[in-house]
Structure 1
């Protein structure tokens, strides 16, 4: 018996040593992968800022597009991005939060609800170019909108709507059940409970998810390329029915043109910096809103 126990101890020690070795190798591989990603990102940011920072000035931000790189500006792309968000934000917020409320608080539990949830979660992982094809088929061709702000905004809304719905569902699901039960116990109706108890408690996470979704919409290019958003010297957009371009599209076309004119690479780098600052502001806004409402509720 003593010999058997001794052999068992040796086998356990061998297994433990094997697990420790595998764990050490896995940690080393993960560390190398992380360092590689950070190094590549640092090189990319250095190239972007070294090539584009000196090109950012008032004229660059306020001038229109031009074939002359020395006087070209991104005012049209900035206005186009703003108009795009004017369409995307209300459509996404209203439909996304409304769908999440219905699925979590009104829809009957069962196979249909599970199927809808699964499909929405799957749609969140669909490549963005697929939504561009859908937008081109439905909005540009079937409805005859053409490549205007409204068509682009609705296409981008389709892209981020599943993400907003999933984030809102998780936020509503995270609200403690005793809060709503206490509201019902006080005689409140279902809508009063949702409006006064559930939504205020879930609003920090809902707003955070919605703002991060808008950040993705601002940085997407593929759907707009598919629906044919131009990068020509078009007039500045003044409504949702005008043609437009956005910052990512301008970066894309200037990067292509840099093979012929080297200065376009500097313009693309400068536009990337402006876009990064805009995305940073949106992400900081999401964090501030989340922290503020968490303290309040």
Structure 2
């Protein structure tokens, strides 16, 4: 018998909360009342059993992605598709795109049954978006994922190609090979944003630096998809030049992904400093909120 997830409207009466094991979603849809109701029912129905689907193929999802796959599930295949463009450049598993892929799947289920003006599915900061004509979505940037303050706000308009937002870094829910406090990526889909954020966050690094404490991932979590690879546990004092070098390493990775059409933009943050990458970084137009000059610690 399929385990039933926790399903409830939040106290504001507008947002839906779905939780099952490590998957924790906040959903909001706007439109006609009957459309919103149908969308929420579809989200709850699709969410039920989704974790079991992923667990059934977990061993392959935790293995290094290759050009071919024997994965069967819709979400599992989406995860593999999202990380496949990065597989030739280094180690990555489909798990790098799990949160974004789940958010994308739930949003797809909602839109299949209802015409909505606007909707989002937020899976721990990895967000799948639907924006009807004239709609927009504002997302706050925090200095680090476990922080409490918003330092800037980004606006995504319906005319923009962005429908996915994801954040990765050493303070997030997953381990990181790099030292970024946070990397926020905008992409065409949530799964693509999730995979790219992981890759860019890993690239923000100072290999061999004595102030950076690392530990094999398997010592912290025996079943980690990263195995014995060293993940960042603590970052000591860095000079301004070292911070700039680490940020530039991540920024260069992001620029390459932007040039390949894999992302629409990225914000890379470390020790209170920030770099913005993407077309909106250089075009001072109506999307001005994306042009971020500095971070506030």
Structure exhibiting the larger radius of gyration computed from Cα positions: 1
Higher normalized helix content (fraction of residues) = 1
Higher normalized strand content (fraction of residues) = 2
TM-score, reference length from structure 1: 0.24
TM-score, reference length from structure 2: 0.24
Task: Select the structure with the greater relative contact order (CA < 8 A; seq sep ≥ 6).
Answer: 1
